[in-house]
Structure 1
Amino acid sequence: MTKQYFSSGDNIPFTTSKASLSLAVPEGSCDCHHHIFDPDNFAYRDEDTTNIPTATVAMYKQLQNKIGFSRNVIVTPSAYGTNNQCTLDAMQQLGDSARAVVTIDDSFSFSQLQEMDQLGVCGIRFMITEFEDLDLGLIQRCAEKIAPLNWHICFWVTADMIVAMKDLLFSLPCDVVFDHRGHLPAGEGIKHPAFDIICQLMNANKAWVKVSAAYHDSKSGSPSFSDTLAIGKAYIATNADKILWGTDWPHPSETIAGNVMPDDVHLLNLLSVQTNNDAELIQKVLVDNPKILYRFYTNHRSEIA
């Protein structure tokens, strides 16, 4: 049977967006985490086994218009490895309202990073699912390489890895960002030691947290996602100046698992639960904080570029 990636209502790809938008979305809101997949024009790496279906800029803009966001951050997905051409192409299609987070390794020269900086790249990402792939040396070397550009490192890692990386995280010469609440495991939540480490980093002005994709690590599940929302609320209570939000569209983890696509409008509405519907907090999470981290200024490039 062919999988259904479209809603029955708006026909927006990769979402079952049936909810009505109840959150008051402020002007300049930013989706800090989404991907673009375009295998017809940019082939996946040979090792990729996910085979995520095509999810283009045109498709994403349908969702962006639906939720009323004007800014976005494209994150290179694991399907492309260190080939960032699809992400860079998408960023150019979307113009000055877009930024990007890319994947690199030791082979990237500083001049290559400067070229990407000129285009609007402002960070790199490590997606690490297995401890055996956790290369602290590579992370350190990449951090030293990007620090002069004032980029950050985005981590998609397990909570146990965050504990193992504690000393490194505090010593890195750049900011760090934790995807999806730091993947605190269901059943433990803020009791996991990674929560305190992340909060310490936030309060030391070294870390940011995405309270995105409530379905990740949730045992309570839809529609309440009460467990992951409680974690998000705890982060916001710790330091609201370091909180970000994103759609995670087109939800590759859910495609891989064969799950029903999330309702993106509902997930956005749930930000009101995490912020107690405080307009000032919503403004910080959706507008003010992304503006700082992703450099949404007239000149978005780094000082050195």
Structure 2
Amino acid sequence: MSLTAADAPLCLPPRPLSRAPRALLPDGTVDTHFHVFADGVPLASRRSYTPHVRTLADWQAYAAAVNIAQGVLVQPSVYGFDNSVLLEALAADRANLRGIVVLHPETDKAEFQRLDALGVRGVRVNTRNKGGLPFTSITALSARIADLGWMLQFQVRPAQLEEIAALLPAIACPVVLDHLGFLDLDAADASARVAKIQQLLETPDCYAKLSAPYRLTHVAGYSAFADAARQLLASHPERLLWGSDWPHTELFDQMPDDAELIELTHDWLGDAGVAHQVLVTNAQTLFFSR
């Protein structure tokens, strides 16, 4: 649901990290999904939430505490096509940050090349929030970004997974699916729903993020998310990424504990080799190979 600026509720801020997780993330871990917000930058006039200001320095403090080495900034819907906050953050640590922006399909070629040099590696298509690109942009965007080695990143509703499956053969670049397509993992047929993600991952260069369990299940401990993660890890560990989803925007009633989330991530991933593949290898290859 998209609201006017006057109605868009202020979401909760992230909880301070009060303790270190029992085990840190492995060296080289890449956080493939986080956002930053700056004071005084205009927000979209129609949006789904109002964020708290949380800067790159705030994320870097969190990253250092849990042993994240590199990160991928994702353009939040509340900034629409204004990528200035993200680009400023990229400029602050070009070696360790990459970005996913929101661009109009008719953006000038020189602008794509400029953004590539700044560390941008993809375009986000977001149909869940006002301010995102619609599906009608996909074909044109794919053709524009394929030569750059960029990807399309989708934040969609579960009902749109079949539409993505139909579009994949015509997309000429890697595809990344945010938050497991927002599947309802508390449903009785959750395993069958996860199987739809597995079918998408059969397509070359299609990836999914193990991220934001609190958006997919309301059961304490996120056991349904753990089951989904293990189902996917059993079939497609080479196509999975991890993201913190920090600072956990668009939450209004309860905020997760970041130390607990890291500990649960260790539990979901299990084997150290698999954990290294998901947390380090897959992401470094996709985002940091150049």
Global fold match (TM > 0.5): yes
The 8 Å contact of residues 158 and 181 in structure 2, kept in 1 or not, is answered as: yes
2:5 corresponds in structure 1 to none
2:244 partner SS? coil
Match of 2:98 in 1: 99
CA contact (8 A) 1:19 1:266 kept: no
The equivalent of 1:267 in structure 2 is: 261
Deviation for aligned residue 1:232: 1.3
Distance 1:110 1:116 in 2: 10
- Determine if contact 1:100/1:120 at 8 Å carries over to the other structure: yes
Aligned to 2:286: 293
**Displacement of 1:246:** 0.9
Give the match's secondary structure for 1:253: coil
Aligned to 1:208: 207
Aligned partner letter, 1:93: A
1:103-118 matches, cutoff 5 A: 103-118=102-117
Q: Aligned in 2, Cα 1:4/1:292: closer, same or farther, shift over 3 Å?
A: closer
Structure 2 distance, partners of 1:49, 1:282, is: 34
Contact 2:11-2:249 within 8 A present in 1 as well: no
Counterparts of 1:109 and 1:4 in 2: how far apart (Å)? 37
1:38 aligns with 2:38: yes
Shift in CA distance, 68/167, structure 1 to aligned 2, threshold 3 Å: same
Quote how far apart the aligned CAs of 1:135 are: 4.0
Q: Distance in 1 between matches of 2:127 and 2:134?
A: 9
Give the aligned residue type for 1:251.
H
Give the paired residue count. Answer: 278
RMSD, aligned α-carbons = 2.2
Hey, what does 2:274 align to over in structure 1? Answer: 281
Contact 2:11 2:52 in 1 (8 A): no
SS in structure 2 of the partner of residue 70 of structure 1: strand
Q: Where does residue 4 of structure 2 map in the other structure?
A: none
Report what 2:191 is aligned to: 190
Q: Give yes or no for contact 1:170–1:201 (8 Å, CA) kept in 2.
A: no
The 1:163–1:153 alpha-carbon spacing in structure 2 relative to 1, beyond 3 Å, is same
Encode CA deviations 1:175-208: one digit per residue, 9 max, x unaligned.
111111121113132312xx33432332332211
- Aligned match of 2:49: 50
| Pair 147,211 (structure 1): closer, same or farther in 2 beyond 3 Å | same
- Does residue 23 (structure 1) correspond to residue 23 (structure 2)? The answer is yes
Gaps of 5+ in 1: 6-13, 301-305
Alpha carbons of 1:90 and 1:105: their partners in 2 closer, same or farther (altered >3 Å)? same
* Letter in structure 2 aligned against 1:227: A
Normalising by structure 2, we get a TM-score of: 0.89
Aligned-partner Cα distance in 2 for 1:55–1:171: 38
TM-score (norm. length: structure 1): 0.85
Structure 2 alignment gaps of length 5 or more: 1-9
Identity %: 26
**Does structure 2 conserve the Cα–Cα contact (< 8 Å) formed by 1:75 and 1:100?**
yes
**Residues of 1 paired with 2:284 and 2:248: CA distance?**
24
Check if 1:234 corresponds to 2:228.
no
* 2:249 equivalent to 1:252: yes
CA distance in 2, matches of 1:3, 1:286: 28
Distance 1:136 1:57 in 2: 30
| Closer/same/farther in 2, CA of residues 4 and 44 from structure 1, 3 Å limit | closer
Give secondary structure in 2 for the equivalent of 1:234: helix
* CA-to-aligned-CA distance 1:114-160 (integer Å, 9 cap, x gap): 11001111111111128xx9843311111111111111111110111
Instruction: Indicate the larger mover: 198-207 or 157-166.
Output: 198-207
